[in-house]
Structure 1
Amino acid sequence: MAYKRRNIAITADSEGVVRYPTNYCRGGGGENFAVVQPNQSEESAREKGQRHGQHGEGEVVPPLPADNVENQQQKGQPIDYVKMNAKIHYAEKSPVKEKRDPTRPPPNYQKGVVPKYLQEIKKTNHNKSEDPKRGAGESLPAGHILLSDSDRLDHLRLIRQSYAELVQQLNNLPVRSDSLRARTRRAEIEKELDRLERGIKLFSRDKLYVKVDA
Structure 2
Amino acid sequence: MSGLDWTPFWISFKLAATTTAILFLLALPVAWWLSRTRWRFKPLFEALFALPIVLPPSVLGFYLLWAFAGSSPLGAFLKETLGVELAFSFTGLVVASCFYSFSFMLQPLQGGFESLNPRMLEASYLAGKGPWQTLWRVALPNIKPSLLTALVVTFAHTVGEFGVVLMVGGSIPGETRVASVAIYEMVETMDYRSAHLYSAILLGLSFAVLLFVYLFNQRQKRKLGVW
Q: Considering Cα pairs closer than 8 Å and 6+ residues apart, tell me whether 1 or 2 has the greater RCO.
A: 2
Structure number with larger C-alpha Rg: 1
Which TM-score bucket, shorter chain as reference? under 0.3
Q: Which one has the bigger helix percentage?
A: 2
